[in-house]
């Protein structure tokens, strides 16, 4: 197999740079050929993948955190090639939510390469959202409201690894507040006094938070998690329950599934797609069923 590997050397607070020689060595050991392109700035992976002749490769592999995979996906979708090779993943970033779908941990980069070498694929859905006149694609989850404040704060704590999101959540809890939101789900419009909304294609966010436990990658639906007005004390209790997905049983939480979603916030705020800060509300979403092929562990198919 000839791989196009898009590698973020800045992932995991720069630890990924030291890991690169070992990853390349193991790729070769697995009998794979790799063309390596490293990212140097935000948005670089989008440029690299969108302009590359993908017909030269058997797979396009993202290696980094969720942000790297997000950029690779968007470059992949922009690329004009008609018959695109499948996508693959070698996790090594701070946040790797999508690797959980493959039953991987951040240290499992060898296992990830083994999965790629087996060359088995799965058709999966992706999401598309439109904001500020632009269209983007996502594979994990897009958050707004309180969760966007948390994600922005977590950037300062990336050196703490997975704990960054926990620390950022607790730090932002003191300024917790709700606001009026108008939400439209498959054409049905309603109003809420909401704290946050998450629109999910996959189950996890921030690696450790089981935000959308009912999400399936091939059901043609996006999962919508709405947290309505809640006290700080209840929020603190609910926060602990997100680790195992039991938060969806709280009275303040609504869990919906839909093909299309539109959201308007009274005070337009930032969007957090796959851990990145990009776009603002109002925003419109749609699910793209079986949109891509992803290299998958055949034991999980």
The residue extents of the domains of the chain are 2-119, 134-288
What pLDDT, on a 0 to 100 scale, did the predictor assign at position 140? 97
Q: Tell me, which fold does domain 2-119 have in CATH?
A: Rossmann fold (3.40.50)
How confident is residue 222, by pLDDT bands cut at 50, 70 and 90? very high
What pLDDT, on a 0 to 100 scale, did the predictor assign at position 161? 64
State which CATH number among 2.60.200.40, 1.10.1740.10, 3.40.50.920, 2.60.40.1220 fits the domain covering 134-288: 2.60.200.40
pTM, two decimal places: 0.94
Question: Taking 90 as the threshold, does the pLDDT of residue 259 lie above it?
Answer: yes
CA distance 237 to 145: 19
Q: Per-residue pLDDT tens for 235-249?
A: 989 988 999 999 999
């Amino acid at each position: 197999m000839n791989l196009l590997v898009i590698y973020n050397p800045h992932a995991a607070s720069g630890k990924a740079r030291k890991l690169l020689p070992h990853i390349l060595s193991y790729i070769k050991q697995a009998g794979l050929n790799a063309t390596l392109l490293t990212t140097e700035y935000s948005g670089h992976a989008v440029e690299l993948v969108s302009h590359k002749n993908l017909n030269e490769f058997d797979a396009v592999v993202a290696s980094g955190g969720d942000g790297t995979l997000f950029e690779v996906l968007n470059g992949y979708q922009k690329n004009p090639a008609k018959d695109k090779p499948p996508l693959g993943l070698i996790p090594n970033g701070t946040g790797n939510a999508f690797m959980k779908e493959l039953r991987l941990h951040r240290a499992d980069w060898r296992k990830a390469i083994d999965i790629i070498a087996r060359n088995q694929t799965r058709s999966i859905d992706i999401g598309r959202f439109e904001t500020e006149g632009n269209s983007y694609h996502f594979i994990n989850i897009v958050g707004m409201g309180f969760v966007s404040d948390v994600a922005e704060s977590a950037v300062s704590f990336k050196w703490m690894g997975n704990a960054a999101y926990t620390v950022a959540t607790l730090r932002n809890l003191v300024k917790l507040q709700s606001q009026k939101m108008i939400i439209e789900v498959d054409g049905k419009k309603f109003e809420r006094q909401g704290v946050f909304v998450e629109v999910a294609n996959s189950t996890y966010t921030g690696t450790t938070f089981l935000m959308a436990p009912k999400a399936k990658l091939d059901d043609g639906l996006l999962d919508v998690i709405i947290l309505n007005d809640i006290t700080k004390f209840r929020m603190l209790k609910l926060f602990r329950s997100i680790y195992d997905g039991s938060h969806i049983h709280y009275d303040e939480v609504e869990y919906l599934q839909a093909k299309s979603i539109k959201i308007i916030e009274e005070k337009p705020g930032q969007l957090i797609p796959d851990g990145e800060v990009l776009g603002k509300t109002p925003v419109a979403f749609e699910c793209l069923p079986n949109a891509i092929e992803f290299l998958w562990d055949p034991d999980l198919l």
